[in-house]
Amino acid sequence: MSGIDPTGPVAPYRQLAEILAGRIKSGQYKPGQRIPTESELVEEFELARSTVRRAVSVLRETGLVRTVPQRGTYVSGQS
């Protein structure tokens, strides 16, 4: 399901960051690959774009991904 629980004690943006981090660590999203666009994540998790962006920014801060303006966000580890 990997759904978001908006009523839980953990903020949705943190839940999403955890889910995405899990997908990277499990290899579902591989190094060098682009992860889904913000719009796609908005649809999949039914969150506002601002919330999705915040979740992605967490991954960026931890170095898990790199974001290229106008291109997308890519899993770190390769070019």
Partner DNA sequence: CTGTATTTGTTCGTATGTATT
Partner DNA sequence: AAATACATACGAACAAATACA
Q: How far is the CB of 62 from DNA (least distance, A)?
A: 16
Contact pattern from residue 10 through residue 49 relative to DNA, giving x for each residue in contact according to CB under 7 A and a dash for the rest: -xxxx----------------------xxxx-----xxxx
Burial (CB < 10 A; 0-12, 13-18, 19+), residue 26, is exposed
Q: And the tokens for 17?
A: 């960051």
Q: How far is the CB of 42 from DNA (least distance, A)?
A: 8
Q: Does 69 contact DNA by CB under 7 A?
A: yes
Distances 47 to 3, 22, 31, 42, 78 between C-alpha atoms, Å? 11, 18, 25, 5, 29
Applying CB under 7 A, which of residues 26, 27, 71, 79 lies at the interface with DNA? 71
